[in-house]
Structure 1
Amino acid sequence: MELGAFSISLAVADLDASRRFYEALGFVVTGGDADEGWVILKNGESTIGLFHGMFERNILTFNPGLTNGMAKLESFTDVRVIQERLQDAGLTLTTTADGEAGPASITLTDPDGNDILIDQFF
C-alpha cells in the first residue's frame, strides 16, 4: 500500500524560533503562511511542517498522490481505498474520509500514541 509523500508535522511553541532552528540545519521554507501559524520546510527529500496553535502533538503525515519531492503522481491509491484496507486489517481510525473522490483525510494513532494523518490534497 503506497501512502505517498512523508513528512512530520511539528506542534511548535514559537513558530519563528523553530523556523530559524530548522533553517540552521539546512532546511528552506517552501510553503505555508506564517501569519496563519504554519510553514513548510524542505531539506532535500525531507519535509517538516511547523504548526503553531493548530494541534497539541506532533503528527506523522502522509500525502497520497505526491512524491517526497512534492511532484504530483498520475496514479495513486485514493485515501478512501487506504481507509478500507486499514479497517480490513483491524486498525481503528480516529477520523474517516467521506465521499467517492477528491480531497479527504483520515487519522489514526499507533500503539505508542503517535498520531498519523493521511491527507490527500486532490
Structure 2
Amino acid sequence: MKLGAFSISLSVKDLLKSRTFYEQLGFAVFAGSMEQNYLIMKNDQTLIGLFHEMFEKNILTFNPGWDQEAQQVGDFDDVRKIQKSLKESGIPLAQEADPNSSGPASILLFDPDGNTILIDQHVES
C-alpha cells in the first residue's frame, strides 16, 4: 500500500512561538501563512504542519499521489483503493471516501491508541 508523503499535523496554541521553535530546529516555512492559521514547515524531507485552532489533537497525515515536495508522483495508490484494502483488513474507518468518486478525497481512522490518521489525497489518480 503506497500512502504517499508523510507529515505530522500539530495542533498548536501559539503559531508564532511554534514557528520560531521549529525554525530553531532547522525548519523553514514551506507552505501556508500566519493569516490562514497554519504553516507547513520543512527540514530536508521532514514535514511538520503547525495548525492553530483547526483541530484538537495531533494528526498523522499521508498524502497519496504526492512526494515530500508536494509534487504529484506518477505511480500511487488512490485513496479509494487504500480504503478498500483497509476495510477488507477489518480496520474501521471514522470517515470514508465515496467509493464511486474520483480525484481528491480523504479517509480518517484511528490507531489502537486513539491517534488520528488522515489519508488525504489532493490529486487525480
Q: TM-score, normalised by structure 2?
A: 0.94
Alpha-carbon distance in 2 for matches of 1:33, 1:23: 15
Percentage of identical aligned residues: 56
Q: Tell me how large the CA RMSD over aligned residues is.
A: 0.9
Deviations 1:24-49 (A, max 9, x none): 00000010121121000100000000
Alpha-carbon distance in 2 for matches of 1:113, 1:68: 26
Deviations 1:47-85 (A, max 9, x none): 000000000000000000011233310121100110010
> Any unmatched runs of 5+ in structure 1?
none
Alpha-carbon distance in 2 for matches of 1:40, 1:69: 11
SS in 1 for 2:56: coil
Does 1:34 pair with 2:37?
A: no
Q: What corresponds to 2:49 in structure 1?
A: 49
Alpha-carbon distance in 2 for matches of 1:109, 1:39: 24
Aligned length: 122
Alpha-carbon distance in 2 for matches of 1:47, 1:107: 19
> Any unmatched runs of 5+ in structure 2?
none
Q: What corresponds to 1:114 in structure 2?
A: 115
Aligned AA for 1:71?
Q
Matches of residues 57-72 of structure 1 in structure 2 within 5 Å? 57-72=57-72
Deviations 1:81-116 (A, max 9, x none): 100100000000010112421110000000011000
Q: What corresponds to 1:89 in structure 2?
A: 89
